[in-house]
Amino acid sequence: MAHGESPREIPAESCEMDDHLLGWLKTLDEERLTRVLANRPDAIAPPWPRRLDTLAQRLSAGPAVSAVLRGLPLPSLEVAQAALALGDGVDLEALARFMGVPEAETAPWVDLLFDHALAWPDDEGRIRIAGGVARWWTAPCGLGEPLTHYLNSWTVSADALRALARTLGLPNGQKRQTIAKITEVLSDPGRLAALLERAPKGTRQLLDEFAWDGPARDVDGGRFVLPGSPQKWASDHGLLFRPGWNAAEMPREVALALRGPDYHPPFTPAPPDLATVPVDPEAVDHLMTLAAPHVVERCAAMLENTAKVPLPLLKAGGVGVREVRRLAKDTGCDEDETRLLLEICAVARLLAWDDSAGGLVPTEKFDRWRLDDAAARLRVLLSAWWRMERSSLRRVDGKYGTVLGDDPAGTMVARARRAVLGVLARLPASTACADRAGLVGSAHWHAPLLDQPLLGECAPAVLEEAGMLGLIAYDTITDLGRALAALQAAGDENDDSTPLVENDPALVECSTRALASVRRSALFGADLTAVVTGPPSAELAELLDRAADRESRGAASVWRFSPVSVRRAMDAGCSAEDLLADLAEVGTVPQPLEYLVRDVARRHGEVTVSTVACIVQASDPVLLAEIAGHRRLGRLGLRLLAPTVLASAMPAGKTLAALRENGYAPVPIEDTGEITVRRARIEEPRGGRLILLPGGRVAEFEQPPYSLFETPPDPHEHAQRLLSAEGDAARQNGRTWAVIGRMASRLPTAQQSLLGFVVDRGVRAAITLTDGLTATISHGELHSGMLDAWCEEAGDYLEFPLADIVEVRGAYA
């Protein structure tokens, strides 16, 4: 069974199919309709439908059907293919017989299709498959079109049809009868076997290739006109048809007859076995509480670093290996962690390209993010990873891809991530996966439309990335990972409508617990060390990273203060008093540390460097004369302009570095004479224009026609509304134009007609009321002189008096 991830594009469903679906929806009770709505949240997304006919259109929409199919397990798709192969006339008994299993084994999977509105029973109990599902498979079960498709074709003349009947030994009759008799003969395995006994040598082998390896194959067209050849014999007997000179196809009935009565399509009702081992839940929980705060802390450190040193992109797009290594070294992360965090921050809109900076820098969203509580910051990162369409640690041919570069797999990577984590979430608590190959097989059973080799590439990367984020520990899912895996609505990488993920109650509770053990205080030692006995909070880590060098991390982290590290904090604009006050807030500052800070502060700023290419100033003429005569500073070309002013031939940056290398402690100043600290910022993009990755490309995002954050209605309550509204809709039909013509008297006839289409066809329009209020509306209904319609500005259904509407004009998305 082929489950390619690139099916043909699904067009809009026919009116006839919508009518069949609508007829079935009208027969559903409240409980069954609730199940359909719960399984198809796309069908009740804003603006949610208020009539069953509108719901039927939503349910049968091609893209929506495609998304639902990707979430169904393998047995449902196998059952759907088998039903398609047998045609619309199949019932549950015939379907089970064709698959070679009892009805009880196929019934649950057929019901699952019903509950997702991908199939439904007609009045006679036959199974009808949605047209969007049929277009996923050009050849269900490897079978082609039915015989009637070829025999009713305009390419088969009446004379050709009579000739085929004569060849098969059938009497001539009306076209319909002749087609039925031909189909009966070629569908019977026994009669077909008897027919093949008279066939030329090699015919059976030729036909078996078509029957088992695909209904359509490339052929040598000349063989089909060569007398006595297997190809011509098969064509003359209606076993093969040629849509083109070098192409041939085998009808469905012929292929099934050749496969024989013992053939049954594949059916896999249970997932493959997955080897597991028990694991200590306390150890898993402990690793989660270490990893979660660590990722928040390191993200903040990495973004602060890019604010000071913008991250350049390669000409081909993405971040180069050298920059990744430099950033990892500067922030104390390993390279894999840096790769992952860069990808996540780009998707979370915390990092973006800035033309003036010439690289990637934090956005203003980062400034808001860092002010949130730690649990909220963590959820932003997890939400970005959940919908991220690249895998930073996936190896292709043994190599990592470019960080933030293009990935042709795109959305399939995100689906693979969710499939792998979903399998782990289904394991019993305190149970770890012990079989990576089995994990891939089980993930493919749950998401069969994903490419299995891609799953095999992504699975190890998913486990590594999830481990860094605190979602997996010891190959078992943590409570945090289980809460994330339970979220079905993730959105795509360019989707900003993520509050449903970031504000999910279960995820909020787990993220808060995962960060409950963070430490906000440190133990300062007389040996100039600071020890944090547990995961440090992001704020504590930022403070200590600013003024000290981290020596170790893990269950306990150790920082060491030195003159160089303290001077680094002062170079960033921190005074001695501010630094000591900040340290005192997180612990007791010992006397040696206070002496160190004050001693560095005493010398800090004795020398200042201006950027006027460049000037070195000092208040002490003796000190300045010493610098001017220093042999190791000769390359700067220093010359004395005044007793307290030196001119340097080198830029300010190189002059600063040279002075510091030789034991001085200069600080840069602006032309105003003030010591400043540069921090790159970019304004949050407006109007939907974002310069994002991969490759730093410019992406245009259209503004949605309605509020992205509106929560769909409760499925059970909405099912009640739909069923109760059905009678009202029937009574309203035919009254639209009369009511609008009488009540909307301020409107000209053309605008009254447009308003009628808003009611009868759900079209989109803009209206203006007598008080000047404007609104963009759709999906209207009439109630007692009021137009009850979806208002995009309000994100809800509102009532507008018909008599107060003074203008209606078309609105285009």
pLDDT of res. 208 = 92
Does residue 491 carry a pLDDT above 80? Answer: no
Other C-beta atoms within 10 Å of 704: how many? 14
84-117 pLDDT, tens digit each: 998 877 889 999 999 999 999 999 999 999 999 9
Q: What angle (nearest 5°) sits at the alpha carbon of residue 493, between those of residues 488 and 498? A: 55
723-762 pLDDT, tens digit each: 877 655 544 555 777 888 888 888 888 888 888 888 877 7
Q: What angle (nearest 5°) sits at the alpha carbon of residue 310, between those of residues 580 and 541? A: 30
The pair of structure tokens assigned to 604 is: 């800090």
pLDDT of res. 613 = 63
* Residue that wins the pLDDT comparison between 689 and 719: 719
Q: What are phi and psi of 427, to 5 degrees?
A: -70, 150
CB contact set of 204 (below 8 Å; sequence gap of 6+): 196
* Cα gap 616→627, rounded to integer Å: 10
4-22 pLDDT, tens digit each: 333 333 343 444 556 788 8
DSSP state of 682: B
The pair of structure tokens assigned to 240 is: 């093969």
* Cα gap 729→403, rounded to integer Å: 55
Beta-strand pair 786-791/796-801? antiparallel
pLDDT of res. 672 = 55
What is the secondary structure of 444-455 as a DSSP string?
HHHSTTS-HHHH
pLDDT of res. 440 = 92
Q: What separation in angstroms does the CA of 182 have from each of 148, 186, 241, 258?
A: 10, 6, 14, 16
* Cα gap 60→130, rounded to integer Å: 7
pLDDT of res. 47 = 80
Q: For the CA atoms of 744, 745, 748, 749, what is the dihedral angle to 10 degrees?
A: 70
With bands split at pLDDT 50, 70 and 90, how would you rate the model's confidence at 442?
very high
The pair of structure tokens assigned to 459 is: 């699975």
Contact 92, 103 (CB under 8 A): yes
pLDDT of res. 378 = 93
Does residue 508 carry a pLDDT above 50? Answer: yes
301-351 pLDDT, tens digit each: 899 888 888 888 888 888 889 999 999 988 888 899 999 999 999 988 899
DSSP state of 311: B
Counts of helices then strands in the chain (DSSP H, E): 35, 29
pLDDT of res. 674 = 52
pLDDT-above-70 percentage for the chain: 88
Q: Mean pLDDT, the chain, as a whole number?
A: 82
Q: What separation in angstroms does the CA of 543 have from each of 20, 301, 548, 586, 599?
A: 66, 10, 8, 10, 19
* Residue that wins the pLDDT comparison between 77 and 47: 77
* Residue that wins the pLDDT comparison between 170 and 605: 170
* Cα gap 511→295, rounded to integer Å: 12
Question: What is the C-alpha end-to-end distance of the chain, expressed in Å?
Answer: 40
DSSP state of 262: T
Q: Which amino acid is at 471?
A: L
Contact 84, 146 (CB under 8 A): no
Does residue 135 carry a pLDDT above 50? Answer: yes
* Cα gap 236→231, rounded to integer Å: 9
423-438 pLDDT, tens digit each: 999 998 889 998 888 8
* Cα gap 402→559, rounded to integer Å: 33
Does residue 693 carry a pLDDT above 50? Answer: no
* Cα gap 444→436, rounded to integer Å: 13
CB contact set of 399 (below 8 Å; sequence gap of 6+): none
Q: Coil, strand, or helix at residue 154?
A: coil
Strand-pairing partners, residue 767, are 775, 808
Does residue 477 carry a pLDDT above 80? Answer: yes
Q: Which amino acid is at 605?
A: G
695-705 pLDDT, tens digit each: 333 333 333 33
336-395 pLDDT, tens digit each: 999 999 999 998 889 988 887 788 899 888 888 888 888 899 999 999 999 888 888 988
* Cα gap 386→4, rounded to integer Å: 23
What is the secondary structure of 191-202 as a DSSP string?
HHHHHHTTSPTT
Other C-beta atoms within 10 Å of 61: how many? 17
* Cα gap 688→698, rounded to integer Å: 11
604-658 pLDDT, tens digit each: 766 666 555 688 888 888 888 888 888 888 888 888 888 888 888 888 878 888 8
Range with the poorest average pLDDT among 190-204, 426-440, 669-683: 669-683
With bands split at pLDDT 50, 70 and 90, how would you rate the model's confidence at 586?
confident
Does residue 466 carry a pLDDT above 90? Answer: yes
Q: What separation in angstroms does the CA of 503 have from each of 406, 507, 689?
A: 30, 7, 26
The pair of structure tokens assigned to 20 is: 């069949």
Largest CA distance in the chain: 122
In this structure, the chain runs to a length of 813
pLDDT-above-90 percentage for the chain: 21
